[in-house]
Amino acid sequence: MVNKDFFQALADLEEQKGVSQEYFIEALESALTSAYKKNFGEAKSAIVKLNPEKCTIKIYSYKTVVSEVLDSDKEISLAAARTIKKSYKIGDIVQQEETPKNFGRIAAQTAKQVVMQRLREAERSKVMDEVNTKQDELVTGIVRRVENDNVYVDLGITQVEGVLSAKDQIPGEKYTINQRIKVVVKTIKEGYNAPYVQLSRSNAGFVKKLFELEVPEIASGEVVIKNIVREAGYRTKMSVYTHNKSLDCIGACVGNKGMRVNEIVKELNGEKIDIIPYSEDPSEYIVSALSPATVLYIHVNAEDKTSLAVVPDDKLSLAIGKSGQNVRLAARLTGWKIDVKAKSAVPSLNLEEENNASENYDNLFDGEDAFGDIN
């Protein structure tokens, strides 16, 4: 069978779709072999070979030379084999080209199905490869539709829509059709027809990517975000660090007159952002993490990673935050359990003995459990 148009079509697909002929030919040989066996005998040992250089499709059957034929589909007698080639002996494999009637029609139908299937697979794979490069990245998309609580976002990738579910939205945000929004690609899953891409504006990674976009020192790695925690729509706490002693890492994040951080706050619809310096010293780290509250004394217990922070009476609500939010985020940021007490709750603490506060801590409460349940 010779079909130049068929092989030319494969060459055109390679040029237009970027899918190699070899990708199709391998699948076609397998499918055509199966089609041949299905129509001309499952028991036959046969293979279909495609040669794009000569534009040929050939079918070869294989039979083993035996002294007595028990299975004519797979075996051939020595006498019959020697009519083909005199040097054949028992155990040799005889290869013969076959051209069954009507196989051209069967081959055409099979080839069409295989090419279309492989083309869809190749395009789906290409889309997946492109989408996978966006994993955990900040992208700008266009809102195409809003259904129930889900927002569907065009990411600029053919056949791909990202989904912004209710839990991944910033509380209180409203979305309109054709609105341009920034999102971070949270999860990518391979779907039946197209990839399922889950987006987020509520996770801490979204804020981190915004800082990488706005702060060149973070993007270059000169300033490192050690940790970032968030309760979307309310407050974010982020600790930063730099090895460059001459660089003010907090100032770099805030920017001149707050320009950089204000851009991020604007994107987050006014969400509060606390940027604090990271410290290897847990006492210093916890005190900074409780910002904007002032801490008078701090005691840490390294054995079980618990701590007590004593604050002025009028700063207690600020340190704890609404519904415990400030201390809860501070605990998540530092990895320490933090209990906050007003100064009046520890009357035995001598303000003039600041240096001894940690040593005297165990005697402050007369056996009372000093640590609350806020984490």
Per-10-residue mean pLDDT, the chain, length 375: 68 74 77 73 69 77 86 85 89 80 69 75 77 88 93 85 94 94 91 83 96 96 96 96 94 95 95 96 96 93 94 94 95 96 79 43 38 35
* Nearest of 89, 80, 126, 103 to residue 34 by alpha carbon: 103
Q: What is the pLDDT of residue 372?
A: 35
Tell whether pTM > 0.95. no
Query: For the structural domain made of 137-199, what CATH number should be given?
Result: 2.40.50.140
Q: What is the pLDDT of residue 249?
A: 95
- Residue 290 DSSP symbol: T
Q: What is the pLDDT of residue 147?
A: 92
Q: What is the pLDDT of residue 375?
A: 34
Q: What is the pLDDT of residue 9?
A: 76
Query: For the structural domain made of 290-375, what CATH number should be given?
Result: 3.30.300.20
Q: What is the pLDDT of residue 30?
A: 79
**CA atoms of 356 and 350, how far apart (whole Å):** 9
Q: What is the pLDDT of residue 364?
A: 41
Q: What is the pLDDT of residue 253?
A: 96
What residue type is 270 in one-letter code?
G
Q: What is the pLDDT of residue 277?
A: 96
4-131 shares its CATH topology with 290-375: no
CATH topology of domain 203-278: GMP Synthetase; Chain A, domain 3 (3.30.300)
Query: To 10 degrees, what angle do helices 4-17 and 21-40 make?
Result: 140
| 3-state helix, strand and coil shares in percent for the chain, rounded to the nearest 5 | 40, 25, 35
Q: What is the pLDDT of residue 326?
A: 96
Beginning with the edge strand found earlier in the chain, give each strand of the sheet holding 272-277 in spatial order.
224-231, 235-241, 272-277
Q: Are 309 and 298 in contact (CB under 8 A)?
A: yes
Q: What is the pLDDT of residue 71?
A: 81
Q: What is the pLDDT of residue 104?
A: 65
Q: Are 294 and 341 in contact (CB under 8 A)?
A: no
Q: What is the pLDDT of residue 361?
A: 40
Q: Give the start-to-end residue ranges of the domains of the chain.
A: 4-131, 137-199, 203-278, 290-375
Q: What 3 state SS string does 87-139 have?
A: CCCCCCEEEEEECCCCHHHHHHHHHHHHHHHHHHHHHHHHHHHHHHCCCCCEE
Q: Which token pair is 252?
A: 């770099």
Q: What is the pLDDT of residue 299?
A: 92
Q: 4-131 architecture in CATH?
A: 2-Layer Sandwich (3.30)
Q: What is the pLDDT of residue 365?
A: 38
